[in-house]
Chains A and B, each alone.
Chain A
Amino acid sequence: MCRFSVVKMTRTLERVLRAFLEDPAAARYGYDLMKATALQSGTLYPLLARLKEGGLVDAHWETPAEEGQRPRRYYQLSAEGVRWARLELAELAQRRSKGGAGATRPAQGTL
């Protein structure tokens, strides 16, 4: 079964992928991504959960150096996720350049 079947390419997802691809090596926390994508928490977090479920995003906890602060969860595209995101965004750009008026379609491999 395709691992990416949980994720459909939408404008929202596009924003998230672009934010991640600004620096694929950088781990981002939730509020950081919210600011970068201008998405609400109720939109962003379910999407992150689906990306994680699909193996496209890795999440890990980091304990802050400052005492008394809570551990934070950071998100980062997996190696597979970086490849997939670049491919999808490239295909999207290609479709748009062909006059698709910015239409999105389900990602390749989506059931």
Chain B
Amino acid sequence: MGRAPWALRAGEFILRQICHQLPAQEAKDCFTEWSAELPAIWDDEALPRWRAATRVLAYCHGQRHTAQSLTPPPGEDPAEMLRATPLMGAALISALSTDAQGLVGDISTYAIGLLSLMGVIALRPRRAKRNDGSGSSG
């Protein structure tokens, strides 16, 4: 089996990146659906090769907008606030202990470091989740 043309490979790469921001099942369905359209565009006999390549890339670029419309807007997840608790705790301890550094000493420093680390881990980028819990694809 021959190697796919560069435009298709580039298109698939872009689509894979775009789909990564979607919930897992939706990402799989969307990637399957959208990437299956690329050969149809590429093989469109009405288009010269350079235009087909341009259209493949334009199609992929357009799907960025589609993915954004399928992704729930940020800030709707109430668990986000819970995950931010360690960072807020670190900031609080840092603020309280600044004036009493000698008294609290290393314990607060370690606590700040630990809570900051927990906060960064908790708030790391992750896949979006559907609010309705259906997990159905669009």
Contacts and interface: CB of A to CB of B under 8 A. Distances in A.
Interface of A: 29-32, 34, 40-43, 45-46, 48-49, 52-53, 68-73
A31 B41 contact: yes
A30 B33 contact: yes
B1 interface: yes
Interface residues of B, number: 24
Dominant secondary structure at the A interface: helix
* Residue among A30, A40, A41 with max Cβ neighbours from chain B (10 Å): A41
B138 interface: yes
Contacts, number: 60
Nearest to A62: B36
B110 to A, nearest CB: 49
20 contacts: A29-B37, A29-B40, A30-B37, A31-B59, A40-B58, A41-B34, A41-B58, A41-B66, A42-B63, A42-B64, A42-B66, A43-B65, A45-B138, A49-B138, A52-B138, A68-B1, A69-B36, A70-B35, A73-B32, A73-B33
A42 B37 contact: no
